[in-house]
Amino acid sequence: MADSNKTATLKFDGKELELPMHSPTAGPDVIDIGKLYAQGDVFTFDPGFTSTASCASTITFIDGEKGELLHRGYPIDQLAEKSHFLEVCYLLLYGELPTAEQLEDFESRVTNHTMLHEQMTYFYRGFRRDAHPMAIMVGVVGAMSAFYHDSTDISDPWQREVASIRLIAKMPTIAAWAYKYHIGQPFVYPRNDLDYASNFLRMCFSVPAEEYEVNPILSRAMDRIFTLHADHEQNASTSTVRLASSSGANPFACIAAGIACLWGPAHGGANQACLEMLREIGTPDRIPEYIEKAKDKNDPFRLMGFGHRVYKNFDPRAKVMKQSADEVLDLLGVENNPTLQTAKELERVALEDPYFKDKKLYPNVDFYSGIILDAMGFPTSMFTPIFALARTVGWISQWKEQLSDPAHKIGRPRQLYTGATFRDYVDVENR
């Protein structure tokens, strides 16, 4: 965070406060209101924190107007095109792209931590078979703190490092086992000779009764899904992880809190909502009807998977994801799948329609990731667990950064109180 010679002047009730300003390396200047209450006896009011910087960070930068997403300064499309997920994990965690030797060491450390403590299998059996996989993940990840006592001391840098590697390594196993338990199949253990994405696909789709070979096109598509969802600045779940961490909670509890927040349909469930919309449309011939509904302000129907709250131009992740979607659909075909046929036609129509062009409602990453996951055979209930798996490294990077920040303090948002003022207590007999 670079200091600035600029200040902002706030005038109210005959008072005049000079507030310091900070200049970031990218993005708008920031007014420091840290001492506003102490000096002016007032709070700011910012529902959703849409105009408030909650921290200083060097990890991810988003420019929604330009359609930019940078991890440590590297554009996301370049990373997704030229790197793979574990390489991006290293970048997010340590700040630089790894050398060949560093990457080999990092991949080895992750690979050697993929197995879960065997006793944790009993946790899964405690859930009903129809439990949502996200419910299972929240419980199992939170329970890791009961098994891995040697990596819960957040004041120890080495324990923080061990916890980081464990979470990145074990999350595919946790998610895959949640899926297997959900569909009633036996757990498949990880294999150390497979890459990160291939290992996850094998744990999800192989069965003991027959051999399973991971298709490299599907593995590459899954790796890109992980990469494109690795971090996204101070979103709701990341802010939840930071807030939980600010109390000194152990890393497993913090990541479980992030998973719980991501579960919300307004956050991690966007690609699921997109696919459910495609299924509601049903077949390509009904697309014109739904396009008109989307244009009608009085109609509650919304075109999911188009546009983005942050990106006002285009989602920089969507171009790379579209490439993977095309490759997967070419491999698996869409001839017998009305949902995927509808997706392809809706994409074509929306990209050509002047209404959507003018409003810059382009297909976003959720549109394409939902198509890919459905084509692979994942049920919609697994879409958000896969998102959580990918986002784990971002949460951990933000968690580690916060703990090393000298300005770190426990989160304590203020409020605009609108309830009753002091009231005298009335006994039950007189109420």
Q: In terms of C-beta distances under 8 Å and separation of at least 24 residues, what long-range contacts does 156-163 make, across chains too?
A: 160/251, 160/400, 160/403, 163/250, 163/251, 163/252, 163/396
Q: Are 16 and 8 within 8 A, CB to CB?
A: no
Cα–Cα distance measured from residue 411 to residue 245, given in angstroms and rounded to the nearest whole number: 9
Q: Which helix (H) or strand (E) holds 317?
A: none
- Report pLDDT for 3: 60
Cα–Cα distance measured from residue 141 to residue 255, given in angstroms and rounded to the nearest whole number: 7
Cα–Cα distance measured from residue 241 to residue 373, given in angstroms and rounded to the nearest whole number: 26
Residues of the chain with pLDDT under 50: none
Cα–Cα distance measured from residue 376 to residue 371, given in angstroms and rounded to the nearest whole number: 9
402, two tokens: 């916060």
- Report pLDDT for 188: 97
- Please write the tens of the pLDDT for every residue from 57-75: 999 999 988 889 999 999 9
* Selected catalytic residue, list 223, 231, 366, 374: 366
Cα–Cα distance measured from residue 220 to residue 322, given in angstroms and rounded to the nearest whole number: 13
Q: Are 50 and 44 within 8 A, CB to CB?
A: no
Is 353 part of the annotated catalytic residue set? Answer: no
> What pTM does this model have?
0.91
Buried b (16+ CB within 10 A) or exposed e, 279-309: eebeebeebeebbeebeeeeeeeebbbbbbe
* Selected catalytic residue, list 182, 195, 308, 315: 308
DSSP one-letter code for 293: H
Cα–Cα distance measured from residue 121 to residue 427, given in angstroms and rounded to the nearest whole number: 53
Is 308 part of the annotated catalytic residue set? Answer: yes
- Using CA atoms, how far residue 1 sits from 33, 230, 234, 360, in Å, is 15, 23, 16, 33
Cα–Cα distance measured from residue 402 to residue 407, given in angstroms and rounded to the nearest whole number: 9
Q: In terms of C-beta distances under 8 Å and separation of at least 24 residues, what long-range contacts does 148-154 make, across chains too?
A: 148/117, 148/252, 151/251, 152/250, 152/251, 152/252, 154/245, 154/248, 154/250, 154/251, 154/403
Q: Which helix (H) or strand (E) holds 296?
A: none
Q: How long, in residues, is the chain?
A: 431
